[in-house]
Amino acid sequence: MADWTTARAVADELAEDGVDPLDVQAAQAARRGLQTRFVLDLLLIAGIAASVMAVGLMFSRALRGDDPVGGIEVGILSVALVIVALSIVMRTFMPGRAQAYEMAWNDFVQKMWPGAKRGDEMGAARLEFVRRAASTDPGQFPSAAPGRKV
């Protein structure tokens, strides 16, 4: 049966590879990274959707015999493509430290709760668990991995 002492020992073992899965600051940074990536994904999807709609509008105007670039479609397409490009560039330069923490956390979960499935993609339950582990009285050790599907 897992307990807080075992969890700390497993975390210390994983920390030797560079990232402590029970480090509160690393967990907070990883959560911010996940939220940033989520927002960038939404911007990317919105930019792609706006691009497709603008091109669709141009084609429909051309099929009707109107001037395909006579409206605001070119402006919409330009802004949408800039949003797509910026989203891709910003995702490329996201800190790798958050990704290293994610890998360390997944290793920690697999050692503490073998067979745990993925879940809690925004890291809220994980951050709460790490904060509890850092407190002086963490309470009862959870029987299931925080934020994971049982």
Answer whether residue 105 is part of any domain: yes
Q: pLDDT per residue over 28-84, tens digit each?
A: 888 888 888 889 999 999 999 999 999 998 898 889 888 888 778 888 999 999 999
Is the distance from CB of 62 to CB of 68 less than 8 angstroms? Answer: yes
Answer whether residue 47 is part of any domain: yes
- Reported pTM: 0.74
Pairwise CA distance, residues 144 & 89, whole Å: 37
Give 83: exposed, middle or buried? Use CB within 10 Å, 0-12, 13-18, 19+.
Answer: middle
How many Cβ atoms sit within 10 Å of the Cβ of residue 18?
11
Answer whether residue 139 is part of any domain: no
Looking at the structure of the chain, the number of domains it has is 1
Listed residue (105, 47, 119) closest to 81, CA to CA: 47
Answer whether residue 81 is part of any domain: yes
Which is more confident, 126 or 83? 83
The residue-averaged pLDDT of 21-33 equals: 87
